Amino acid sequence: MIRLDALEILDSRGQPTLAVAAQLEDGTKAWARVPSGASTGSKEALELRDGDPKRFLGKGVEKAVAHVLGPLQDAVAHLSPERQEEVDRALLAADGTPSKSKLGANAILGVSMAVAAAAAKSRGLPLYRYWKQEGPYRLPVPLLNVINGGRHADNNLDLQEFMLVPHGFPTFHRALRAAAEIYQHLKHLLRERNLSTGVGDEGGFAPDLRSDEEALELLVEAIERAGYRPGEEVSLAIDAAASELGQKGRYRVQGEAMEAPSLVALYEKWSRLYPVVSLEDGLGEDDPQGWQALNRALGNRWQLVGDDLFVTSRELILWGQREKLANTVLIKPNQVGTLTETFAALEACRNGGWRAILSHRSGETEDTIIADLAVASGAGQIKTGAPARGERVAKYNRLLLIEKELGEDGMYAGPEFFPR
Ligand code: PGA
Ligand code: ZN
């Protein structure tokens, strides 16, 4: 027996989102909260908004709440909460559309996650153990977005995210400490140059800079000031979110219009100048030829990560593997809408010899399920914003706790994933 509850709450941007609870026969009740993106891929499952301009400027989610309490409740009422696949299949059947547009992927994911959370709680297990019955466990390398641009800030940076990758440490907590120290040094550096230290949606600083390259230079300087070795202990990652930079293979970067080959050449130049190890959405979701060229040029040196390109869809990941478009996938449960489909995407990565990075959204809540998912899946990497702002820090703090709980059974993935 599963009894659902749902409620409209706020996300980190102050926009409404859903909290969903599942209560089981033994009285156990657990809540899950649904995140929301801003630079979304066009093939993502549909996030249902009310469209009533009188409430939250049209962004209310009362319809999604009603769908949880009505049709989704009916679909799962009689099911066993431990049978996630059956639960998720029933949710999909209740909706019946390929993009989850009838009941809303936000409503469906909320139920999928709440059921898992309740099932784990009822067994007395933390989620990471519920999903993965035995060790060894891998603590993920965090990709910390410390300079924000693009759709996540109102500054002049075209590229959306400039991240720290503290891989060269023996433990997760040591790696996180390095990133937190570098973040403070970065703040001082910006102040010294009279640049803004206000932050963007994911907690990274959002200064106006002379160019996107200057962001990479600042990060290298901040790493050194904090006393760490760029490239050996702490490297860099970029999310260009290039679907937002143009269309059909034409992009605008640093004030210049360019086609895919020039943008690939720019990335190649950066690969010689800066200790970058990972590039996400370097090209647009509608530019597979560009991705192939990028993969030929940099695929053996960089992680090339598809976010908008694959939208956590198993089918699109398999297509990407056949067409040799990339080598890594960003995994966001709300892009696809159920945990079972999220697991299928992770499995497709594993089977194809690709990497996977668990990810937050730019609109987040205090929910920490992706931290548990990162550990249980053994993906080895998580991207969940700056080491600042409660909704970002909640995930990192959850990982600190998991690391402590695991003790000897937990191993930091850094040196394994980015050996130097
Ligand atoms: P989003 O951004 O959550 O706004 O889509 C995150 C990302 O592009 O990785
Ligand atoms: Zn992205």
Task: Give the tens place of pLDDT for each residue, 282-300.
Answer: 999 999 999 999 999 999 9
Domain assignment of residue 18, yes or no:
yes
191-248 confidence digits (pLDDT tens): 999 999 999 999 999 999 999 999 999 999 999 999 999 999 999 999 999 999 999 9
Do 250 and 221 fall into the same domain? Answer: yes
Do 210 and 114 fall into the same domain? Answer: no
Which of 17, 36, 39, 370 to mutate to test ligand 1, by most ligand atoms within 8 A of the CB atom? 39
Q: Which domain holds residue 181?
A: 137-417
pLDDT band at 331 (very low <50, low <70, confident <90, very high): very high
Domain assignment of residue 131, yes or no:
no
Ligand 1 nearest atom to the CA of residue 362, by list position: 3
pTM above the 0.95 mark? Answer: yes
Task: Please count the structural domains in the chain.
Answer: 2
Do 48 and 147 fall into the same domain? Answer: no
Residue 344: which of 331, 325, 361 has the closest Cα?
331
Q: Which helix (H) or strand (E) holds 365?
A: none
266-282 confidence digits (pLDDT tens): 999 999 999 999 999 99
Q: How far is the CA of 304 from the centre of ligand 2 (A)?
A: 11
Domain assignment of residue 130, yes or no:
no
Q: Determine the Cα–Cα distance for residues 128 and 134; give it in Å rounded to an integer.
A: 10
Do 71 and 176 fall into the same domain? Answer: no
Domain assignment of residue 132, yes or no:
no
Do 303 and 280 fall into the same domain? Answer: yes
Phi, psi dihedrals of residue 280, rounded to the nearest 5°: -100, 145
Q: Determine the Cα–Cα distance for residues 366 and 19; give it in Å rounded to an integer.
A: 11
Do 396 and 321 fall into the same domain? Answer: yes
Do 220 and 176 fall into the same domain? Answer: yes
- Give ∠ CA 413-419-420 in degrees, rounded to 5: 140
Question: Would you tell me how many other CB atoms lie within 10 Å of the CB of residue 37?
Answer: 20
Do 173 and 313 fall into the same domain? Answer: yes
Cis peptide before 136 (omega within 30 of 0): yes
Which of the following is catalytic: 100, 121, 332, 383? Answer: 332
CATH number at residue 374: 3.20.20.120
Domain assignment of residue 317, yes or no:
yes
360 CB within 6 A, ligand 1: no
Domain's final residue, options 99, 124, 149 = 124
11 CB within 6 A, ligand 1: no
Q: How far is the CA of 24 from the centre of ligand 2 (A)?
A: 36
Indicate if the pLDDT at residue 410 is higher than 80. Answer: yes
Question: Would you tell me how many other CB atoms lie within 10 Å of the CB of residue 56?
Answer: 17
Active site residue 202: yes
Domain's final residue, options 101, 124, 147 = 124
Residue 381: which of 419, 414, 411, 420 has the closest Cα?
414
CATH number at residue 32: 3.30.390.10
Domain assignment of residue 141, yes or no:
yes
124-144 confidence digits (pLDDT tens): 999 999 998 777 899 999 999
Phi, psi dihedrals of residue 160, rounded to the nearest 5°: -80, -35
Domain assignment of residue 292, yes or no:
yes
Do 91 and 220 fall into the same domain? Answer: no
Do 194 and 270 fall into the same domain? Answer: yes
Do 292 and 165 fall into the same domain? Answer: yes
Domain's final residue, options 124, 156, 182 = 124
Long-range contacts made by residues 171-174, C-beta under 8 angstroms, separation at least 24?
171/139, 171/403, 171/412, 172/139, 172/140, 172/142, 172/399, 172/400, 172/403, 172/410, 172/412, 173/400, 173/403, 174/412
Whole-number pLDDT of residue 280: 98
Which of 15, 362, 370 to mutate to test ligand 1, by most ligand atoms within 8 A of the CB atom? 362
Do 237 and 313 fall into the same domain? Answer: yes
